Structure 1
């Protein structure tokens, strides 16, 4: 199945500092493309993969699960580690959950984490109904373009396949037990108004991680897809500043 125009993965060879970006559920690399380009323009080695089942048609997502999505970013992280001396992981929404799991599982191979409107829970009523509903219907209405900025558009599915949604719920359940294993420096940015992921998800993540170097930033002028919204430039600049600060600290420690 052809990839939707604009949903293609991005890879850029740069410095010994690598950055892996993870897009969200039913979305595509398009939602993070400006973020990836900003980091590539500052000389980093950047990888923004297309997750299985995404960027084509929603029926393709129906036959995948969280293990497939995580396996993809896990491979990308290992590839970056083979070429770079340090790697940072970043993500939007479900991509934030994947980035946090990478940090939990890979320890010192991840130097820092940046997440934007990260998801960690599933709506309670929908979650309870999913085991039955997914046997009765294939999909439900999707929610894309939760963006405050006029004229900005997200490439994503307008249907959510319920088998994949059930798998997503299982990913969040697993992640919550693993968050205490996250010890790396963490930059978490979340929108004041988000119609997809509640701010309480960010609060839950902050309460469970074991990181001691934590920065929380509230985005006042963006909705869920903040990387395409009014606060995008702040996200990009803060990410670069975060990576530069951690890299400099690591270099100084190694030199000492």
Structure 2
């Protein structure tokens, strides 16, 4: 099955500091590619994988589960740790949940987290119906493209596959159960006008993680996909400054 335009994974060999970037549910690397390019342009080694079942057609997601999505980012993290002195993990939406789980399970192998509108809980009461509903209704309207900036679009599925949505709810429960194991420095970007992920998500994770160094920044002009929105540059520059502060080897730009 051919990939959607822009859905290709991205890898860049840079310096001794690595960054794993995780995209969201039904999304693709396209939503994070400008961020990944910015980090790569400043000398970092960057991995932006395409999650299984994503980037082709929504029906392909029906064959995958959260364990498949996590396994992909876990492999990428392990590969980065083999060739980098320090590794940071960034994530948008569900990618934030995957990043938190990596941090909880890999400990000191992850030097820090940068999350953008992370999704860690259900905001829809109908989620409790998914175990049954997924066998009756294949899909519902998609969640992609929540962007305020005119002319900016997200490459993602226009339908939400309910088998995959049910598995996402299981991922949330798994992450919630392991949040106390997250101890790494965290930079959190949150959009007050996010139409996909409610503020309750940020409150939950900030209330449960064990990190002592936490900073929350608001993306006042952006919707959910803030990495393609008005506040994108603030995210790019803020994350680079965060990484450079925690990783001395990342401070010098390439000549």
TM-score band by shorter chain is: over 0.9
Deviation at 1:250, TM superposition (A): 11
State the SS of the aligned residue for 1:202. Answer: helix
Q: CA deviation at 1:124?
A: 4.2
What is the DSSP-based 3-state SS (H/G/I as helix, E as strand, rest coil) of the residue aligned with 2:206? Answer: helix
Partner Cα distance (1:250, 1:144) in 2: 33
Q: How does 1:1-256 map to 2 (within 5 A)?
A: 1-248=1-248
Distance 1:73 1:95 in 2: 9
Secondary structure of residue in 2 paired with 1:135: coil
3-state SS of paired residue (2:88)? strand
Q: How does the TM-score come out when normalised to structure 1?
A: 0.96
SS, match of residue 55 in structure 2: coil
Are residues 172 and 61 of structure 1, via their aligned partners in 2, closer, same or farther at CA, if it must alter by over 3 Å?
same
1:128 is displaced (CA, Å) by 1.1
Q: What is the alpha-carbon distance in structure 2 between the residues aligned to residue 4 and residue 142 of structure 1?
A: 16
Across the aligned residues of Structure 1 and Structure 2, the Cα RMSD in angstroms comes to 1.3
TM-score (norm 2): 0.97
Counterparts of 2:43 and 2:250 in 1: how far apart (Å)? 18
Q: What CA distance in whole angstroms lies between the structure 2 residues aligned with 1:35 and 1:199?
A: 23
Q: Deviations over 1:189-220 (max 9, x none)?
A: 10010000001101111111000011111110
Q: Which runs of 5+ in 2 are unaligned?
A: none
Q: Secondary structure at the match of 1:6?
A: coil
Q: Aligned pair count?
A: 251
Matched residues in 2 for 1:79 and 1:248: separation? 21
Cα distance in 2, alignment partners of residues 126 and 155 from structure 1: 26
How many Å separate the matches in 2 of 1:144 and 1:97? 17
- Long gaps (5+) in structure 1: 252-256
